Each structure stands twice: as structure tokens, then as C-alpha cells.
Structure 1
Amino acid sequence: MVFTRLRRRLWEVADTQDLTPSQLSALSRLSKDGPMSASELAAAERVRPQSTAATLAVLDQRGLIQRHPDPEDGRRQLVTLTELGREYVAGSRQAREEWLARALQDHCTEDERRTVIEALTLLDRLAQS
């Protein structure tokens, strides 16, 4: 529940332009992991390919992604962020990071901030396993 509330709060401070959590997650994944096929994105996001296709259609319509033929397999297309998509992700990430830094500074002691950082490191390790 804590993660859900924190995630919701972080997205509230960012201008989501009425994008859904799935759409925001796909943009974030493409920003972090780089170009990938729709099926690779679906696997990485742990969603059905049909859901990913619908997500990508909206992002494409808004000019946030583009598709290019895969140079290694002409039957596949790779999805990448457009310049607008990169700007959106960067701006959104900056707004969320600034809010979180300010909230930690205003509401936590130095020891509590260190504890949060240590806990996040452990949770990240769990999430990667």
C-alpha cells in the first residue's frame, strides 16, 4: 500500500498529460532500456502483447514514440522515443525527483533519509531478482 500511495503521489506532481500508468511505464522503460520491439516491451512490462499494442498506438498518436525497421530483422520494428517523448520523460522525471527530494528534506531527519536510501537499495536488489 505504501508503494501504491507513493507512486500515485509522484505521478500527481508530474504533468501526465492524461496518460495512463501503462503508457507512462512504457515511456519510462523505453527511456531506460532504449529501442525494443513491441513484444520485448510487453515481456519487460509483463503485459500481453495486445495491451502493449494499444499502449503504443496512443503514444504514437501523441508523437511520443516512433517505429523503425530492425536492422537485424527486417520483419520486426523497433520502438524508440521521439524527441518529444524524451523531453516528456525528462521533465516528468525531474518534477518527481524534485518533489521527493523536497519532501524528504522537509519531513525527514538526516538519519531517516539515510535509512530510506539503504532500504531502497535493498528493495531494488529484490526487484531485480
Structure 2
Amino acid sequence: MTEKRTVPADSAAVAARELRAVFSRLRRTLREASATTDLTPSQAAVLSRLINDGPASASGLAAAERVRPQSMAATLAVLERHGLIGRRPDPEDGRRQLVSLTKDGLARIADSRRVREEWLARAMEERYTEDERATVLAALALLDRLSER
């Protein structure tokens, strides 16, 4: 039995395309404004995943980031060389190592987030009126529904 696939309304297709483009530009601008500009996007993603999800194995990180284990090993080696992550034996399986953020890694993420949030708040204050910021907040509430399952 074949599922019938409906074509989205033109307005939905345009909104999806524009939303993706705006988020892409905003993500790039925020990355440029942050303190992690010397990190690659994959290195920054691993740090972010570790702060959000906690310690993980290299293979778990590779699966979560959808990269080959060899690529994750290279990413982790760089982060470890910079003192941003550490490894310790998994208490549940001594054959595995768990990767976690070091104090420097935690500080780096916190500083990066602070810089991005400050830049974004200043930009919104300078470029938008109070009414426009209220409109952005209302739109964000609508967009948040996209992440609901």
C-alpha cells in the first residue's frame, strides 16, 4: 500500500524555504560573533552536545552527530589537545571511555553563549521596535510548535 503524499501549500513551501535561509544566515552570524570562531562547526557541535547531554562515548557522539567514528576521533583529538574535553573510563563498562567537558571547555561554551546572546539582544534592541520584538516573540511561539512531536 502506497502512502499518498500531499504537496504543501505554496505559502508553506515559501515559508519553509525562507525560514531555512534566515536561520542559516542567523546561525552563521552568531557563530561569527561567538568566542568559538577558532573551532570548526563539528568541534563546536560536540562541545554543545556534551554540555546539553552530558558525558558520552566517542561512538555515541559519532552516532549522534551522524559522522564516521574515525571523523569523531579526529574531532575529539583536537578538542582534547586544546584542553576542552577529557576522557575517563566508563564506570559501567571499563573498556569504554567517556568524553566530558573540562573546566576550560565549560567556560568556553558559557562564554560563547553569553557573547552570542549579548550580540543578539543588542541587535534586536537596535534594529527592532518594542512592537516588532513582541511580534518576534509571538512568531517564536508559533515556530516552537514545529519542534513538538
Provide the TM-score with structure 1 as the length reference: 0.88
Q: Structure 1: which amino acid aligns with 2:146?
A: L
Distance in structure 1 (CA, Å) of the matches to 2:76 and 2:145: 29
Deviations 1:58-95 (A, max 9, x none): 00011000001110111111100000101111111100
C-alpha separation in 2, matches of 1:45 and 1:110: 38
Q: Distance in 2 between matches of 1:99 and 1:55?
A: 28
Equivalent of 2:36, from 16, 19, 27? 16
Aligned to 1:57: 77
CA-based RMSD of the aligned residues comes to 1.8
Larger Rg: 2
Note the residue ranges of structure 2 that are not aligned, 5 or more in a row. 1-20
Q: What corresponds to 2:124 in structure 1? A: 104
> Structure 1 residues 46 and 121, CA, compared in 2 at 3 Å: closer, same or farther?
farther
1:81 maps to what in 2?
A: 101
What residue identity is the alignment partner of 2:66?
A: R
Provide the secondary structure at the position in 2 that maps to 1:18: coil
Note the C-alpha offset of 1:124.
4.4
Change (3 A) 1:113 1:44: farther
Asked whether the equivalents of residues 85 and 105 of structure 2 are also in contact (C-alpha less than 8 Å), the reply is yes
1:29 match: 49
Aligned sequence identity (%): 67
Q: TM-score, normalised to structure 2's length?
A: 0.77
Letter in 2 for 1:47: V
Letter in 2 for 1:88: R
